[in-house]
C-alpha cells in the first residue's frame, strides 16, 4: 500500500508538518521491510511562499503546491491520479491552503481519483458560511474523516451535519520513546536544582502565557526554587507581522512582577527525542490557552504521552484528555487558581506523581506506532470500499489551465505616484494623454480584488495611489472631475456621469472590503460627500454604476435606510426605461444598444439582491437573456461593436469590440450565478472571459503574454495593439472574477449536466 500525503512538511516549521511526518513514520513502523519513508508513498507539500524551492525537502516530497496558486492544486491532483498511490491522506487546517478559508483545496480533492482520508485539526464551533461549506465538501469527498476528540464528532454531526458513520476518532499520536535514566536536560542551568513549570510550542498571543507569568509571584513566594521555562520559537507568522513583541511583553511583565529570574526562554525548535527529555525533566506542564476553542492540541498530547503532570485551562481537548485524574484544570486567565494548583502539587509529591503515572499509562495507547496501525486499517478499508464510479466527477466549467498567470506588470508600468495613465502606445505608457477618473476607479477595484485573493503586497501598495487620485479629483461640492494632465492640471470642471458612477462603485467596493480601517474611513468620507449628486443623475449608465456602488456600500452598512431609499429611487428609472422601450422582439432599455451594455442588467441584479425588488429581478433576467442571445449565439462572445451602435431593426455592428463590454458580461453572469445558483451563468461568464484569450470573431487573443497588458479592441483589420488602462483593467478584473468563480467549482459542478448556451 502506497499513500499520498497532502500537508505541510518539514523543514517548514508548522504543527501539521510535524504531525504528517510523524504519521508517515508511524505507518512505516508497521512495515519493518521498508528502509525509507519514500517506499511507503510520497508527500504533496504546501509552501507558504511563492518560491517552490523555499524549503530543502527530503526525498519523500515529490510535489510542491504554492499556497496561493490555484493551478498548483489542479496539477497536484493530476500528479496524484497518475501516481502509484493507492490512497490519499490529507491534513486539514484552514490556514495552510489558499483562497478564503483555504477554499483552494476543494478543486484538488474534487478531482482525486483515489480514496481520500481527511484529518481535521481545526473544527470551529461558529464557522463562517464558507468554512462550513469547506468542511462539508471535504466530508463528501472523503472516505473517512478522522478527528481526535469526542467534541469534534459532536460538532461535525450537529453543526456541519456530517453523518456519524463517516467520522472516526483516532487520538493524536505521541513519541514512542522513554526518558533516559540520566536526563541531560536536568543539567541545564534552567533545570538544575530547580522545580520547573514548562510550556512548549510555537509562541503567539493566543497561547495565554502571561497567565502563568502572573501566577509566578504567588508560586515563587511558597516555592522560590520554581522556574517557568517557555520552550520554542515565536510563530513565523507572528515574527513576520509583529516580530518578538509578545516575547518582549512577557519579559517586561516578569520584571514588573519581580519574577524575571524565574522566567527562562529557550528559543529553539527541538526534535521529539529531545522534547521528551524536557517533558520528563519538568515538575508541571502548563497549557494556559485563553479560550475553549481548541479542538486538538498536539503539545497537550505529547505532554500526557510523556507522563507529565499537566495543568491546563479547560479548552475542549484538555477537558477530554485530562479526565479521570490525568491532569488538573483551572479557569481561563485565572492566574490565582493556577498558582493554587501548582502550589498544591509542589507541596504533595504523592499527588504529583499520581498525575504523572495516570498520564503515562494512558499515553501508552497514544504512541505513534499504535496510532499508525489504526490509520493503516482505515486506509485499507477505504481502498476496498472505494468505487470511482460512485464519485461524480465532471469537467470543470472553468478550466484554470488556460488562464494566464495573473500579473500586475503592465498596471505597474502604467502607474506612477499620481495614478494610472489612461492610454498607451502599444505597451508603452502614453504620458501625453494624462489620467482619468474612470481608470483610477477601475484600478482601485482591481487592486482590491487582487489583494483580497492573495494578500499581494504589490496590489496593497497600489491602493493609496488610486484612492488619492479619486480624492484629488473630488470638487468642493462632492462631484468629481475626470481628466488630469500629466503635469497635474485639471482638464475639466465636472466629469461625466459614467466616471461619477464608476467612482461610486469603487468607493462602495472599498467600503465593503477595505484592506485597512483607515482606507474604509477615507472612502466613507469621499462617498458621503458625493451623495447629494446621486439623485441628480440622468443617464442610465451613470445610474447603473452608482447603483452597484450603493449596493456594495449597503452590504457593509445595511442599516442606512436613507441610502436604501436612494437605491430604490435610482433603480426605478432603469425599470421605467425598459418598460417604455421593450417589445416582443426588443427586450432592452433604449431604442439602441451602445456601450458597456451588460452594466445595466448587472446593476439591477445588485439592486434586487439588496432591496428584494422582484420587478428589478424580472427586468434583469429578461435583458440579460436578450443580450446573451445577441452576443453569445455563435458559441463565443461577439459584443456590440463601437463602430456604430445596434439600433432596433438595424444591422448588428461587429467591430470595434471593446474590453469593457467583455468585463461587464463577465461580472453580470457571475453576479447572476451568485443570486440564482444556476451553473449556466458560470459557463457564460467563462465563455465571455475567453474573448480576451482569442475565442472571438477574429480568433485573435487580446491579452498580451509578453507585456501582461490587454489590447484596446478588436477591429475589422485585426487588433488595436495599444494597451491602455481601460482594456488592461477590464481584463484583470475579469480574470480575478473567473478565479473567484473557480473557487465555487465544488458547488456548481453538482447541478447536473452543463446546459446549452442560448
Range of weakest confidence among 391-405, 542-556, 602-616: 391-405
Per-residue confidence (pLDDT) for residue 758, from 0 to 100: 31
Distance CA 484, CA 466 (A): 13
Please name the residue that has the C-alpha cell 509583529: 242
Q: Output the CA–CA distances (angstroms, integers) from residue 147 to 15, 120, 169, 206, 273, in the order listed.
A: 16, 6, 5, 22, 25
Q: How far, in whole angstroms, is CA 591 from its chain's centroid?
A: 44
Task: Tell me: pLDDT of 262 over 60.
Answer: yes
How far is residue 352 from each of residues 190, 610, 685, measured CA to CA in Å?
Answer: 21, 61, 66
Given a cut of 60, whether residue 512 has pLDDT beyond it is: yes
Name the DSSP class of 420: B
Euclidean distance between CA atoms 628 and 153, whole angstroms: 48
Task: Show the 3-state SS of 747-758.
Answer: HHCCCCCCCCCC
Query: Is the pLDDT reported for residue 601 higher than 90?
Result: yes
Integer Cα distance of 505 and 442 in angstroms: 9
> Residue 299 — pLDDT band, cuts 50, 70, 90?
confident
Q: Return the ∠ at Cα 652 (arms to 647 and 658), rounded to 5°.
A: 100
Torsion sign over Cα 621, 622, 624, 629? positive
- Across the range 651-663, mean pLDDT stands at 93
Cell 475542549, residue?
316
Average pLDDT over residues 563-592: 97
Average pLDDT over residues 121-139: 89
Residue 102 has pLDDT above 80, yes or no: yes
CA distance 37 to 40: 6
C-alpha cell at 726: 481601460
According to the model, what pLDDT value does residue 602 have?
A: 98
Q: How confident is residue 754, by pLDDT bands cut at 50, 70 and 90? A: very low
The pLDDT, as a whole number, for residue 391 is 57
Decide the pairing of beta strands 310-312 and 284-287.
parallel
Residue 334 vs residue 298, higher pLDDT: 334
Write down the pLDDT at residue 173: 92
Summarised one tens digit per residue, pLDDT across range 351-399 is 999 999 999 999 898 999 999 999 999 999 999 999 765 554 445 677 7
Q: What pLDDT does 395 receive?
A: 53
DSSP 8-state assignment for residue 477? T
Which pLDDT score, from 0 to 100, does residue 558 have?
Answer: 95
Helix/strand/coil (H, E, C) string of 259-309? CHHHEEEECCCCCHHHHHHHHHHCCEEEECCCCCCCCCCHHHHHHHHCCCC
Confidence of residue 273 (pLDDT cuts 50, 70, 90): confident
| Residues linked to residue 87 through DSSP beta bridges, in sequence order | 3
State how far the alpha carbon of 439 is from the alpha carbons of 432, 444, 660, 727, in Å: 16, 9, 11, 9
Query: How would you classify residue 180: left for phi > 0, otherwise alpha for psi between -120 and 50, otherwise beta?
Result: beta
Q: What mean pLDDT is predicted for residues 589-618?
A: 97
Q: For 683-725, what is each residue's pLDDT tens digit?
A: 999 999 999 998 898 888 899 988 999 999 998 878 898 999 9
What mean pLDDT is predicted for residues 558-570?
97
- List the beta bridge partners of residue 715: 718
User: What share of the chain has pLDDT > 70, as a percent?
Assistant: 97
Contact in structure between 264 and 299 (CB atoms under 8 Å): no
Q: Does position 230 have pLDDT exceeding 90, yes or no?
A: yes
3-class secondary structure, 329: strand
- Which residues are CB-contacts of 549 (< 8 A; sequence separation ≥ 6)? 501, 503, 504, 505, 506, 507, 508, 509, 527
472 has a pLDDT exceeding 70: yes
Packing angle, helices 561-581 and 614-631, rounded to 10: 50
Reading the block at residue 341, the C-alpha cell is: 494548583
CA 6 to chain centre: 18
CA torsion sign, 341 to 342 to 345 to 347? negative
Strands 61-66 and 41-47: parallel
> Is the per-residue pLDDT at 639 higher than 50?
yes
3-state secondary structure of 429: strand
CA neighbor of 658 nearest in space, from 647, 668, 643, 673: 643
In 453-574 the beta strands, taken as DSSP E runs, fall at 483-484
Q: Are 697 and 657 in contact (CB under 8 A)?
A: yes
Distance CA 117, CA 200 (A): 29
Q: Which residues 6+ apart lie within 8 Å of 190 measured at CB?
A: 196, 227, 229, 264, 266
| 636 neighbors 659 (Cβ within 8 angstroms) | no
Question: Vertex 634, ends 631 and 638: CA angle to 5°?
Answer: 35
pLDDT of residue 235: 76
- Scanning 513-560, the segments in alpha helix (DSSP H) are 517-530, 540-556
Set of cell numbers at residue 136 = 462539508
Q: What's the rounded mean pLDDT across residues 200-211?
A: 89
Q: What is the mean pLDDT of residues 111-116?
A: 94
Count CB neighbours of 455 within 10 A: 12
Per-residue confidence at 290, pLDDT binned at 50, 70, 90?
Answer: very high
SS3 691: coil
Among 212, 386, 380, smallest CA distance to 290 is for: 212
CA distance 193 to 209: 23
Q: In a 10 Å sphere around its CB, with 0-12 CB exposed, 13-18 middle and 19+ buried, how is residue 282 labelled?
A: buried
**Distance from C-alpha of 346 to C-alpha of 328, rounded to nearest angstrom:** 13
SS3 assignment, position 413: helix
> How are beta strands 263-266 and 424-425 bridged, if at all?
unpaired
pLDDT at 735: 97
Can you tell me the distance from the alpha carbon of 467 to that of 447, in angstroms, rounded to the nearest whole number?
Answer: 11
CA 114 vs. chain centroid, Å, equals 26
**Cβ proximity of 104 and 132 under 8 Å:** no
Cα angle for residues 194, 173, 107 (degrees, 5° grid)? 130
The confidence score (pLDDT) of residue 757 equals 35
Instruction: Check pLDDT > 60 for residue 458.
Output: yes
What is the reported pLDDT for 753?
A: 42
> Beta-carbon neighbour count of residue 706 at 10 Å?
8
Mean pLDDT over each residue of the chain, to the nearest integer: 92
Within its chain, how far is the Cα of 559 from the centroid?
28
Read off the C-alpha cell for 722.
Answer: 495599444
Please report the pLDDT score of residue 393 as a whole number. 45
Residue 456, Cβ neighbours under 10 Å: how many? 16
Tell me: the pLDDT tens digits for 21-72?
999 999 999 998 888 888 999 999 999 988 989 999 999 999 999 998 888 9
Cell of 371: 496510532
* Rounded Cα gap, residues 290 and 204, in angstroms: 11
- Give the number of C-alpha atoms closer than 13 A to the C-alpha of residue 496, restricted to the C-beta side: 13
Residues 712 and 725: their CA atoms lie apart, in Å, by: 9
* pLDDT band, very low/low/confident/very high, at 111 (cuts 50, 70, 90): confident
Phi-psi region of 478 (alpha: psi -120 to 50; beta: other; left: phi over 0): left
Amino acid at each position: 500500500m502506497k499513500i499520498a500525503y497532502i500537508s505541510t512538511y518539514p523543514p517548514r516549521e508548522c504543527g501539521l508538518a510535524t504531525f504528517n511526518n510523524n504519521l508517515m513514520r508511524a505507518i512505516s513502523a508497521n512495515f519493518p521491510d521498508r528502509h525509507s519513508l519514500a517506499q511507503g508513498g510520497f508527500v504533496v507539500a504546501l509552501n507558504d511562499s511563492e518560491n517552490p524551492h523555499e524549503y530543502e525537502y527530503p526525498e519523500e516530497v515529490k510535489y510542491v503546491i504554492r499556497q496561493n496558486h490555484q493551478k498548483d492544486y489542479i496539477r497536484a491532483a493530476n500528479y496524484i491520479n497518475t501516481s502509484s498511490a493507492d490512497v490519499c491522506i490529507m491534513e486539514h487546517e484552514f490556514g495552510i491552503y489558499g483562497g478564503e478559508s483555504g477554499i483552494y483545496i476543494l478543486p484538488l480533492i474534487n478531482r482525486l481519483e483515489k480514496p481520500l482520508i481527511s484529518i481535521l485539526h481545526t473544527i470551529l464551533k461558529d464557522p463562517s458560511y464558507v468554512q462550513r461549506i469547506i468542511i462539508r465538501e471535504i466530508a463528501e469527498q472523503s472516505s473517512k474523516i478522522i478527528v481526535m476528540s469526542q467534541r469534534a464528532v459532536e460538532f461535525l454531526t450537529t453543526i456541519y451535519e456530517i453523518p456519524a458513520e463517516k467520522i472516526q476518532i483516532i487520538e493524536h499520536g505521541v513519541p514512542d520513546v522513554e526518558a533516559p535514566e540520566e536526563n541531560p536536560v536536568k543539567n541545564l542551568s534552567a533545570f538544575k536544582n530547580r522545580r520547573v513549570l514548562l510550556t512548549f510550542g510555537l509562541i503567539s498571543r493566543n497561547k495565554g502565557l502571561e497567565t502563568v507569568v502572573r501566577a509566578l509571584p504567588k508560586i515563587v513566594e511558597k516555592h522560590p526554587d520554581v522556574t517557568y521555562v517557555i520552550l520554542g520559537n515565536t510563530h513565523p507568522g507572528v515574527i513576520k507581522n509583529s516580530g518578538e513583541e509578545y516575547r518582549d511583553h512577557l519579559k517586561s511583565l516578569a520584571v514588573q512582577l519581580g519574577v524575571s529570574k524565574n522566567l527562562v526562554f529557550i528559543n529553539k525548535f527541538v526534535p521529539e527525542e529531545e522534547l521528551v527529555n524536557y517533558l520528563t525533566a519538568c515538575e508541571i506542564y502548563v497549557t494556559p490557552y485563553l479560550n475553549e476553542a481548541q479542538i486538538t492540541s498536539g503539545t497537550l498530547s505529547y505532554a500526557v504521552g510523556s507522563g507529565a503532570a499537566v495543568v491546563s485551562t479547560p479548552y475542549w481537548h484538555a477537558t477530554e484528555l485530562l479526565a479521570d485524574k490525568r491532569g488538573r484544570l483551572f479557569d481561563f486567565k485565572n492566574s490565582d487558581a493556577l498558582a493554587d494548583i501548582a502550589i498544591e502539587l509542589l507541596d504533595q509529591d504523592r499527588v504529583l506523581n499520581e498525575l504523572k503515572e495516570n498520564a503515562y499509562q494512558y499515553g501508552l495507547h497514544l504512541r505513534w506506532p499504535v496510532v499508525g496501525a489504526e490509520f493503516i486499517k482505515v486506509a485499507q478499508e477505504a481502498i476496498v470500499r472505494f468505487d470511482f464510479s460512485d464519485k461524480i466527477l465532471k469537467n470543470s466549467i472553468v478550466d484554470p489551465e488556460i488562464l494566464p498567470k495573473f500579473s500586475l506588470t503592465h498596471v505597474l508600468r502604467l502607474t506612477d505616484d499620481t495614478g494610472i495613465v489612461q492610454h498607451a502606445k502599444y505597451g508603452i505608457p502614453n504620458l501625453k494623454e494624462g489620467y482619468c477618473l474612470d481608470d483610477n476607479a477601475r484600478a482601485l477595484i482591481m487592486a482590491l480584488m487582487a489583494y483580497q485573493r492573495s494578500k499581494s503586497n504589490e496590489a496593497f501598495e497600489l491602493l493609496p495611489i488610486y484612492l488619492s487620485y479619486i480624492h484629488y479629483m473630488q470638487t468642493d461640492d462632492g462631484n468629481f472631475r475626470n481628466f488630469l494632465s500629466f503635469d497635474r492640471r485639471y482638464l475639466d470642471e465636472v466629469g461625466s456621469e459614467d466616471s461619477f458612477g464608476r467612482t461610486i462603485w469603487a468607493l462602495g467596493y472599498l467600503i465593503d472590503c477595505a484592506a485597512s480601517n483607515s482606507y474604509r474611513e477615507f472612502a466613507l468620507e469621499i462617498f458621503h460627500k458625493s451623495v447629494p449628486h446621486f439623485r441628480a443623475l440622468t443617464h442610465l449608465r451613470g445610474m447603473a454604476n452608482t447603483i452597484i456602488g450603493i449596493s456594495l456600500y449597503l452590504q457593509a452598512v445595511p442599516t442606512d435606510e436613507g441610502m436604501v431609499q436612494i437605491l430604490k429611487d435610482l433603480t426605478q428609472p432603469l425599470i421605467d426605461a425598459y418598460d417604455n422601450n421593450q417589445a416582443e422582439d426588443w427586450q432592452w432599455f433604449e431604442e439602441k444598444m451602445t456601450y458597456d451594455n451588460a452594466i445595466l442588467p448587472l446593476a439591477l441584479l445588485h439592486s434586487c439582491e439588496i432591496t428584494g425588488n422582484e420587478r428589478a429581478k424580472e427586468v434583469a433576467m429578461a435583458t440579460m437573456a436578450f443580450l446573451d442571445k445577441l452576443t453569445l449565439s455563435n458559441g463565443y462572445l461577439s459584443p456590440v461593436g463601437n463602430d456604430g451602435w445596434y439600433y432596433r431593426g438595424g444591422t448588428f455592428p461587429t467591430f470595434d469590440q471593446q474590453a469593457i463590454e467583455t468585463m461587464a458580461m463577465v461580472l453580470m453572469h457571475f453576479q447572476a450565478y451568485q443570486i440564482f445558483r444556476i451553473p449556466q451563468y458560470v459557463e457564460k461568464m467563462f465563455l465571455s472571459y475567453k474573448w480576451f484569450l482569442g475565442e472571438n470573431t477574429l480568433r485573435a487573443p487580446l491579452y498580451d503574454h509578453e507585456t501582461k497588458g490587454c489590447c484596446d479592441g478588436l477591429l475589422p483589420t485585426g487588433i488595436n495593439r495599444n494597451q491602455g488602462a481601460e482594456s488592461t483593467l477590464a481584463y484583470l478584473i475579469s480574470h480575478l472574477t473567473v478565479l473567484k468563480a473557480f473557487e465555487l467549482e465544488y458547488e456548481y459542478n453538482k447541478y447536473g449536466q452543463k446546459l446549452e448556451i442560448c
